[in-house]
Amino acid sequence: MKNFYFSFDEDDIKYKKVAIHLKAMINNHELIHGEKLPTIREYSKLLGVNTSTIINAYELLQNEGYAYKKMGSGTYVKKEEQKNYILKEYSNTYKKLTRGNLENFIDFTGETTSSEFFPVDTFKKVLNEVLDRDKEDAFIYQDALGYKGLRKSINKHFWNNKMEIDDILVVSGAQQGIDIITKAIINVNDNVVIEKPSYSGAMNVFKWRKANIIEIDMKKDGIQVEELEKILQKNRIKCFYTMPYFQNPTGVTYSFEKKKRILELAEIYDFYIIEDDYLSDISYDNRVEFKSLKSMDTKDRVIYIKSFSKIFLPGIRIGYVIPPQKYSDKIQTFKINTDITTSSLMQRALDIYIRKGLWKQHIKNLNLEYKKRYEFLIKECNNLLKDKVQIYDTYGGLSLFLKIQRKDVNCIKLFEYCKDNNVLITPGMLYYLNSDDGMQYFKIGFSKVDTKAIHQGLMVINNLLKESE
């Protein structure tokens, strides 16, 4: 039962005191967005005041952005203040972590593999080999497309020499890839289709370009293709941004049939597909067969992005883009205008690392280690959070996207409670254009936590959800 009751002091301006009390409940997440406030008659009777006091209090809440009125229905909590607050809190918390306070928290926000699995000694030998071989040349700027040796290795080891090496553009990570592609192909008011939910970094870039963003709901095997086709029949679409394997944040992998149909629709309706190969390397089940949209593309409709940072070493900031011929020169130009070239030394080192089979072995080791954590996390979620959250097996990736089953707890309340208990989660609202749609979701990443920390962190989540029963 929500504590709407309080007493007045003699000097209180009553309607302002009512508004202050309700604002405190909203800011403390005792009241969540969309929740109906007591009727004017009910609340005036509870507090022993005139109905005009409640009317004035509710009007004040509306004017300050804390409430909205539905004609004939009542007054409801509005989320804008909560959303701004949680975005600021999430950002500030993350900044503090990057300053070295991570040891005080169980961090479920990790997006990259743990440094404990990075083969430092091996990579040190590779760096020394580069310096011994290339000397000062290891530090000079390369071809604008990137170090030729690395592009050759990418083509050979990841594409079976089916690409032209001049079609491969080395970039400083996937985010830069998204940025330069967006600058090259998207103009103001262009229509862009994205998955719902989707990666917030891409959404922010599309917003910055002032594109019209259209979301399509994710299902267990990808977006609703029928919904995509309906949108295409009514709108001129410039591109579709997708993560077909272990999508961020849902972990969903597309079916072969859906990928095939999306490629057919791209040709029929003349749009391009931005394929962000997020974490296809991290797979725990043979049932997930990797076949990228780019490898299936016979009409040159796919712009492929791959980052090595997420699963190798975030600090090296290396990835690559394979654009269609139509946009190749334009994308290259925007890359040059952005930063001229990506680290020469690291490109050369990564080239050797791939050519010697060290990358392949590194991925194998990661899959073995993270499969243990993934299976432990699934088991613990089923044990501790059963019936409290909705759980989906993803069979890969480094996180789980969970739906809170209890209506009296949303991701804001859970985020605050966890933070106060030294646990960090990612609120689901950050992955939606309309944060209302993500209020019951949260993401927990397991790349930075061992099994002991997973158990402890889930216990904290369970404590809040149990209290809400």
For 35-75, the three-class secondary structure string (H helix, E strand, C coil) is: CECCCHHHHHHHHCCCHHHHHHHHHHHHHCCCEEEECCCEE
What pLDDT does 112 receive? 78
Other C-beta atoms closer than 10 Å to the C-beta of 326 total: 13
For residue 401, pLDDT over 80 is answered with: yes
Give 79's pLDDT tier (boundaries 50, 70, 90). Answer: low
Six-digit token pair at 440? Answer: 């019951």
Give 374's pLDDT tier (boundaries 50, 70, 90). Answer: very high
What pLDDT does 95 receive? 57
Give 332-351 pLDDT, tens digit per residue: 888 887 776 677 888 999 99
Quote the mean pLDDT of the chain. 88
CATH architecture, range 14-76: Orthogonal Bundle (1.10)
CATH 3.40.710.10 fits 139-356, yes or no: no
Share of the chain above pLDDT 90, in %: 59
Is residue 33 within 8 Å of residue 78, measured between CB atoms?
yes
Amino acid letter, residue 8: F
Is residue 238 within 8 Å of residue 185, measured between CB atoms?
yes
For residue 84, pLDDT over 80 is answered with: no
Give 83's pLDDT tier (boundaries 50, 70, 90). Answer: low
CATH code that applies to domain 81-108+361-467? 3.90.1150.10
For residue 115, pLDDT over 70 is answered with: yes
**Every domain of the chain and the residues it spans:** 14-76, 81-108+361-467, 139-356
Domains 81-108+361-467 and 139-356 alike in fold: no
Other C-beta atoms closer than 10 Å to the C-beta of 142 total: 20
Sequence-separated (6 or more) residues with CB below 8 Å from residue 72: none
Give 380's pLDDT tier (boundaries 50, 70, 90). Answer: very high
Mean pLDDT of 389-394: 88
Six-digit token pair at 88? Answer: 């600021």
The structure tokens 């000694």 sit at 121
What pLDDT does 402 receive? 96
Mean pLDDT of 93-103: 61
Burial environment of residue 148 by CB neighbours within 10 A (0 to 12, 13 to 18, 19 or more): middle
Six-digit token pair at 263? Answer: 């490629």
Give 48-64 pLDDT, tens digit per residue: 999 999 999 999 888 87
Sequence-separated (6 or more) residues with CB below 8 Å from residue 263: 273, 293, 296, 297, 298, 299, 301, 302
Six-digit token pair at 434? Answer: 């309309």
Give 148-188 pLDDT, tens digit per residue: 999 999 999 999 999 999 999 999 888 999 999 999 999 99
Mean pLDDT of 342-369: 90
What pLDDT does 80 receive? 55
pLDDT higher at 394 or 293: 293
What pLDDT does 443 receive? 96
What are the phi and psi torsion angles at 208 (to 5°)? -60, -35
Amino acid letter, residue 409: V
What pLDDT does 427 receive? 92
What pLDDT does 1 receive? 52
Sequence-separated (6 or more) residues with CB below 8 Å from residue 2: 25, 30, 31
Peptide bond into 427 cis (omega under 30): no
Amino acid letter, residue 266: A
Give 296-324 pLDDT, tens digit per residue: 999 999 999 999 887 776 667 899 999 99
Other C-beta atoms closer than 10 Å to the C-beta of 234 total: 7
Mean pLDDT of 79-86: 57
Sequence-separated (6 or more) residues with CB below 8 Å from residue 23: 61, 64, 66
For residue 191, pLDDT over 70 is answered with: yes
pLDDT higher at 112 or 215: 215
